[in-house]
Structure 1
Amino acid sequence: MSGVVPDLWMFLVCRFLIGTAVGGTMLCSYILMVELSGTSFRPYLTGLTEMAYVTASIFQPMIAYYVREWRYLQMVTSVPWVFVIIYYWLLPESPRWLLTMGKKQEAINVLTKIAKWNNRPTENIEAIIDKIQEHSLNHNKQNHSSYLDLFKTTRLRIYTIVMALVWFCCGHTFFGINQYIGRLQGNFYFNVMLSGLFLLPGVVLNILSCLFLQRKIGVIASFLIAAVSLTVFIFIPSNAYTMSLVFAVFGQMGAYMAFIQIYLYTSEVFPTVVRNSAMGFASMSARVGGFAAPFVVNIGIEWASITIFSTVALVAGFLCFLLPDTKDTVLLNTIQQTEQSERKIKS
């Protein structure tokens, strides 16, 4: 619709709705992926999910180079969303979410179907569900949650505030560098495409980080890569175009790696009953950071903009020390489990 609207206000409304829909789709699909997958598969599935984003980042400037009319570009880039509709019939609901909502039989049906797809036995599924449900009910009778629940208990309140700040820093740094790269010397389309291309090694490094490093160490290392790369960028002569582009892209790659891992990290820190709310609140914080990024880019003083992005990345890294590590742990279901820090290593 945004490609055919007659005036600016309708265009702004359409863009707002697009942003809302895309943000909600990304969060819900990621949470569903995490809750449907086992602990050992999460790093690979996270990488596979991000490959789609990276591919789009590479092809979008290429499409924009040939489709210069913005209305046609809007329509061309919206075509893939038509195929998303069929996911309604292809994807199962999260068994964890069904259990927290008290829909035991539906959870059993989903798990039975998944077990059959993977040629696994189905006889003990109901007994396992009963055990999980009994354990969860012993901790918390609440099945429905709201954003207020994120601030009701001490530990959850700390996690929520820290995660919101980390996501803000992550969004501010990533989207800020992304826009800054478009303003560097050289061809705009080539610079943006190259920045997307450099995200590919970031996906691979992210998978390795999730496999071999603690969650928060991986996130901290990613922020450190961004901060160091951007700090070096400040001291590069303005006429050294290639070197400036390389370090700017490395800074973006570090911020991108942090962004990927913070999705997985956040989904593991918060229990099932508030996971959607936590991810939504954190994502909103990242969007606020992204909203503030263009104002920093437009400061007009080159070193000042990059210094701010570098400092913000460094602050985010230090904030992660306040969070628990969740690598190889079982996802928690209730708020009380989180408060008691009942994080069990997946056997």
Structure 2
Amino acid sequence: MLEVDKILEKCGDFHRMQWIMLLLFCLINLLSAMHYYSQTIISFVPTYWCADGLAADESRRVAPAKSSCLPLNYNRNSSTDTCEIYNYDLYMGYESYTSDMSWICDQAWKLTLGQSMFFVGSVIGTLSLGYLADIVGRLPILVVANVIAMLGNLLTIWGTNLILFCTFRLISGFATDSNFVMMYILVMEYLRPSLRTIGLSLCIGLFYCLGSMLAPWLAILVQSWRGFLLCTSLPLLLVPLFYFIVPESVQWLISKQKYDQAVACLKRVAQINGRQVIESHFEEFIEECKFSQQHTKCTPNLLDLFKTSRLRRHTLILFFKSMVITLCYDAVSRNVQGLGISPFVMFSLSATTILPACLLLIALQDRIGRKAMASISLLLSGLFISVTGCILFTATTKTSEKTTILLVSLSVIGRFGVTVAYNSGAQYATELIPTCVRGQGVAAVHVAGYAFTFFSAFILYTRSIFPPLPEVILGVISFLGAGLCLLLPETLNRTLPTSLEDGENFGKNDRWFTFSFIERRSQSATTLQSNSGMESTLHF
């Protein structure tokens, strides 16, 4: 909304208030990272073995190198293939939900189901809270979402049976996305347009990375999954205080014709920034907004994206791309076991890719284009993930140190690639969907991705059937996603579609091999040839 940017420039669009909001956004990144990955950390599976008929000291002495559901061969007291009691080799003394509840072997499906319910909650919550955000505002939903996240994790502490665990994980997942996106929207609207990409990306890259890296070591520090959930939930009590600091979205207030409240928010921003704005400027701003709203036509809805052939194809590809990227991002970030290294170390190592991925995106996305960034990052991610699966398949039972280093390196590179693809995907969809349905379309694409992560836990569960199977599945769908990205048109340096008709005709002459950096090179070569021809003519 151009009117908001103009008045915000007078009130200050990169001063004290914006720095406060960026700092609060950094805190939100830190807390939301710990909330999201709590699902993984409480579910770590330590090495386990059957302890039926063994004394405590004997059981510890004969601990196997790999987990086993069957009675040990030398356990003469066991005459069956079933086991009643298991012992665990806890990672650095940390007791996870898995070891506490003994949800392993024939009970492992319970943990997988509970993890999946987290993402069911994400889908329901994203739709519900997104709808409510358009009714009651962004700021109240930001507070409510983080309170729900806190309650979901705290209630999980008492979720000691399957029904309670699934219910409380669903509640915890309900807040995912809204607990982060609402603050993202608020900061973006109050920040100078030229600084939005770099400012928001650096906040995400630094503090989401920091939260992800610290989360497993916080679990080690408190030694139990209950203590970890408690420590990551209580800081969320700070978020309701945002209500007294962060202003409501001016664009939302204007869309609801709450002009007095919009002006009050802008005056507050100006006061904190130390700016003096005369009253006539606010009155002129309100008149411009009213005039703009009077001439705004009824916009189409989400279903209109599927009425024409090319727009329908692009929309379906965006949906599938979001599903692939979100699934791979979640599965790869949680796939930290079975690689011959402590899952806590592996989790922190893979989390270090978040910041470089954001920096690479800032450096390259406006140079090589959205299409190249999305397809190449997915292709490389799929390649490294697939190679990791091949090495796991060929590795012997006793993995060598060199093999472990190779597996870890490939896994980290795969995580880096899928993080780049995940971060670039949101901007690509935002630019490709026509303006008239952009809000609904982007939300639907985002929700489709969260819905597909329901299968993430089940894909990782296939490791119990065949160790390299998760990598094989993730590699195949990454390749498929990279291929489909080639069918989308480039958006860099082009006038973005505003109407449905624009969306249908956008990039009509593009081919699968059309990339922005190739176009620029061809245009430069053509220009040079043209100049040379003119010079020759002049000499002649």
2:452 to 289, 292, 303: 289
Deviation at 1:243, TM superposition (A): 0.7
2:413 to 250, 253, 264: 250
Amino acid across the alignment from 1:308? I
Identify the residue that residue 246 of structure 2 maps to in structure 1: 91
1:140 equivalenced with 2:297 (yes/no): yes
1:179 to 334, 342, 351: 334
More displaced 10-residue stretch of structure 1: 82-91 or 108-117: 108-117
Measure the CA separation in 1 of the matches of 2:339 and 2:223.
20
1:218 to 354, 360, 373: 373
Distance 1:124 1:324, change over 3 A: farther
Distance 1:55 1:133, change over 3 A: farther
Aligned residues of 1:181 and 1:249 also touching (Cα < 8 A):
no
What is the aligned residue count? 340
Q: Which has the larger radius of gyration?
A: 2
Identify the residue that residue 22 of structure 1 maps to in structure 2: 176
Measure the CA separation in 2 of the matches of 1:60 and 1:174.
17
Question: For 1:86, what is the secondary structure of its paired residue?
Answer: helix
Aligned residues of 1:170 and 1:259 also touching (Cα < 8 A):
yes
Aligned residues of 1:39 and 1:328 also touching (Cα < 8 A):
no
Amino acid across the alignment from 1:140? K
Measure the CA separation in 2 of the matches of 1:341 and 1:111.
39
Distance 1:97 1:322, change over 3 A: farther
1:308 equivalenced with 2:505 (yes/no): no
1:233 equivalenced with 2:398 (yes/no): no
CA offsets 1:276-297 (integer angstroms, 9 cap, x no match): 5434422322223322123223
Identify the residue that residue 325 of structure 2 maps to in structure 1: 170
Identity %: 23
Distance 1:25 1:325, change over 3 A: farther
Amino acid across the alignment from 2:481? A
Aligned residues of 2:388 and 2:410 also touching (Cα < 8 A):
yes
More displaced 10-residue stretch of structure 1: 204-213 or 186-195: 204-213
Measure the CA separation in 2 of the matches of 1:320 and 1:286.
15
Question: For 1:85, what is the secondary structure of its paired residue?
Answer: helix
Deviation at 1:70, TM superposition (A): 1.9
Measure the CA separation in 2 of the matches of 1:120 and 1:265.
38
Amino acid across the alignment from 1:53? Y
Measure the CA separation in 2 of the matches of 1:140 and 1:325.
28
Measure the CA separation in 1 of the matches of 2:349 and 2:329.
15
More displaced 10-residue stretch of structure 1: 198-207 or 246-255: 198-207
1:54 to 205, 209, 213: 209
Measure the CA separation in 1 of the matches of 2:309 and 2:254.
25
More displaced 10-residue stretch of structure 1: 125-134 or 302-311: 125-134
Aligned residues of 1:96 and 1:272 also touching (Cα < 8 A):
no
Measure the CA separation in 2 of the matches of 1:129 and 1:322.
43
Aligned residues of 2:353 and 2:419 also touching (Cα < 8 A):
no
1:68-107 aligned within 5 A: 68-107=223-262
Deviation at 1:20, TM superposition (A): 1.0
Amino acid across the alignment from 1:226? S
2:316 to 139, 142, 161: 161
Bigger relative CO (Cα 8 Å, ≥ 6 apart):
1
Aligned residues of 1:139 and 1:336 also touching (Cα < 8 A):
no
Distance 1:115 1:219, change over 3 A: farther
CA offsets 1:221-263 (integer angstroms, 9 cap, x no match): 3223312322333444534110111111110111112112223
Measure the CA separation in 2 of the matches of 1:105 and 1:320.
45
1:40 equivalenced with 2:171 (yes/no): no
Measure the CA separation in 1 of the matches of 2:255 and 2:285.
15
Measure the CA separation in 2 of the matches of 1:177 and 1:292.
13
Question: For 1:224, what is the secondary structure of its paired residue?
Answer: helix
Aligned residues of 1:47 and 1:207 also touching (Cα < 8 A):
no
Aligned residues of 2:434 and 2:500 also touching (Cα < 8 A):
no
Amino acid across the alignment from 1:20? F
Deviation at 1:196, TM superposition (A): 1.2
Identify the residue that residue 278 of structure 1 maps to in structure 2: 441
Identify the residue that residue 345 of structure 1 maps to in structure 2: none
Measure the CA separation in 2 of the matches of 1:120 and 1:38.
18
1:9 to 163, 168, 188: 163
Measure the CA separation in 2 of the matches of 1:109 and 1:168.
41
Deviation at 1:208, TM superposition (A): 1.7
Q: How does the TM-score come out when normalised to structure 2? A: 0.54
Deviation at 1:11, TM superposition (A): 3.0
Aligned residues of 1:95 and 1:110 also touching (Cα < 8 A):
yes
Question: For 2:156, what is the secondary structure of its paired residue?
Answer: coil
Question: For 1:75, what is the secondary structure of its paired residue?
Answer: helix
Aligned residues of 1:34 and 1:267 also touching (Cα < 8 A):
no
More displaced 10-residue stretch of structure 1: 73-82 or 95-104: 95-104
Aligned residues of 2:335 and 2:460 also touching (Cα < 8 A):
yes
Deviation at 1:119, TM superposition (A): 4.9
Unaligned runs of 5+ in 1: 343-347
More displaced 10-residue stretch of structure 1: 54-63 or 313-322: 313-322
Measure the CA separation in 2 of the matches of 1:340 and 1:135.
26
1:298 to 437, 461, 467: 461
Question: For 1:4, what is the secondary structure of its paired residue?
Answer: coil
1:200 to 339, 355, 361: 355
